[in-house]
Amino acid sequence: MSAIAVPYGIRFQDDGQLDVFPALEADILGRAGRGVRAVFIIDSGATISLIPRGDADLLGIRFSTGKKSIVRGAGDSTFIGYVHSLRVRLAGQIFRAPFIVAERLDVPHILGRDGIFSHFGILLHEAGRRTAFLDTTTDKKAIDSVFS
């Protein structure tokens, strides 16, 4: 894989204002050729990635067969989800990572650290509103130069 840079995502807030956020389009690969393509919020504060319940049907999995987990978000948001090991295609690589499938339909697609971040050097360029995903092998010099 070579480095890729992607622009931040854009969404309208309830008050009509635009919001920009670190995001990446990725594919979650399910059974029998099924899959989900979605824009994921890149969230370094999230331990595990998150997808809504509706994605389970599209992936051909029963959401409640995973390990039950309580999900706590910012503020008072708490809900139940089920952890599944899913295949993800992200920045030209395919690998397995844990994802919580929420019982709720109204949760965003979140890309958390476990099983994902270790595959990349991830740089957030807030002023330029873009994110770079660097290969930890081929881009090692560039990554090391940032942290030296």
Cα 96 to Cα 85, 93, 126: the distances in Å are 6, 10, 28
Give the DSSP letter string of 97-120: EEEEEES-SSPPPEE-STTTGGGE
- Predicted pLDDT of residue 51: 96
- Predicted pLDDT of residue 3: 81
Q: What is the pLDDT of residues 100-122, one digit of tens each?
A: 999 999 999 999 999 999 999 89
- The answer to whether the beta carbons of residues 18 and 129 sit under 8 Å apart is no
- Predicted pLDDT of residue 94: 92
Please classify residue 114 by burial: count the beta carbons closer than 10 Å to its beta carbon, then call 0-12 exposed, 13-18 middle and 19+ buried: middle
**What one-letter code names the amino acid at 63?**
F
- The answer to whether the beta carbons of residues 84 and 61 sit under 8 Å apart is yes
Whole-model pTM over 0.75: yes
Cα 111 to chain centroid distance, Å, stands at 2
- The answer to whether the beta carbons of residues 106 and 54 sit under 8 Å apart is no
Q: What is the pLDDT of residues 22-74, one digit of tens each?
A: 999 999 999 888 899 999 999 999 999 999 999 999 999 998 999 999 998 76
Q: What is the pLDDT of residues 128-148, one digit of tens each?
A: 999 999 888 888 888 888 887
pLDDT band for 80, please (50, 70, 90 cuts).
very high
